[in-house]
Amino acid sequence: MSDSLVALVTALADDELVLGHRHSEWTGFAPQIEEDVAFSSIAQDEIGHAAALYGLVASITGDDPDRLGLGRDQNQYRHAVLCERPNRDWAYTLARHWLYDHADAVRLAALTDTADERLGALVNKMRREERYHLIHADTWMQRISQGPMDGRTRLMEAVTETVPEALDLFEPIEAEDDALKQGWLPAPSDVLRARFVDETSGALEDLALPAEVRSHLQATEFVASSSGDLIDEGPSESKSSDDKSSSGGRSGNHTSDFGRLWSDLTHTYRAHPGASW
């Protein structure tokens, strides 16, 4: 009954933890000292959200939030693969930050109507910080997309490359049908994905990035919105249209990039069981 709630909250928490960890790898290396502080702060926010969400899971299952964050095997994490990718350069980091935070905004907006009051309260708190993340990402995107050719080109390439994995943020969660039935998740993942596609392709148009940057999104828009329509007729049909992505991060399938991140992230926890600070 509450299993699907646990699955939903775990997926949210794992996204925030793993991406927050990637963001934190910029600490000391960001393009400017001011941005270093700001981006590190965003990383802390994301990890703080993960901690709060693990706390919610723990209160349901009686588990320990630290163990949930740091004591699981790699294939027990339910984040999207997008979150585990290495930072590469600032263009990729920014493209991912922008796509992720827009996706996050879409799903958090939907989750304000969740049937679980604790999750609803947490989501409202998170949204207050996520608003800043969104402004931060938008402001950077505007600056780089209107700036000199080199940065603009690198950003366009990064966005184009990142879009397919960003769409997998809306890979259905485990036991999604039950989460929908119970009202934990107020809208199906592919409806949320269609909203995300709609919003971000509009935003990319406003940024005056060339049409080919949006082509990935728009190619998927047709599929996503048509499968969104199918949802009304029956959830089983929408699932079959999602065969490709149903085997990704939300089912615990991760890349070797996560292996390296995981061993770094969990090193201290594994080396000193039961330690506190």
Partner 1 sequence: METFEVFRRSGHKSPFEHCGAVIAGDPEMALLVAKECFLRRREGDHLWVTRRSDIHSFEDESLLEIAADKSYRFAHAYRDVVKKRERARERAGKAGAQ
Contacts to partner 1 by CB under 8 A: 32-35, 37-38, 41, 132, 135-136, 139, 143
- The length of the chain, given as a count of residues: 277
Read off the tokens for 66.
Answer: 């630290």
35 vs 174 by CB, closer to partner 1: 35
Q: How far is the CB of 37 from partner 1 (least distance, A)?
A: 5
- Cβ atoms of 123 and 114 closer than 8 Å: yes
Q: How far is the CB of 139 from partner 1 (least distance, A)?
A: 6
Spatial separation of the C-alpha atoms in residues 170 and 227, rounded to whole Å: 13
38 vs 70 by CB, closer to partner 1: 38
35 vs 178 by CB, closer to partner 1: 35
Q: How far is the CB of 238 from partner 1 (least distance, A)?
A: 39
38 vs 115 by CB, closer to partner 1: 38
C-alpha distances out from residue 186 to 10, 73, 109, 165, 224, Å = 17, 30, 10, 23, 17
35 vs 229 by CB, closer to partner 1: 35
Q: How far is the CB of 146 from partner 1 (least distance, A)?
A: 11
- Cβ atoms of 11 and 250 closer than 8 Å: yes
Q: How far is the CB of 108 from partner 1 (least distance, A)?
A: 21
CA nearest 167: which of 138, 188, 197, 137? 197
Spatial separation of the C-alpha atoms in residues 30 and 210, rounded to whole Å: 27
Neighbours of 274 (CB within 10 A): 6
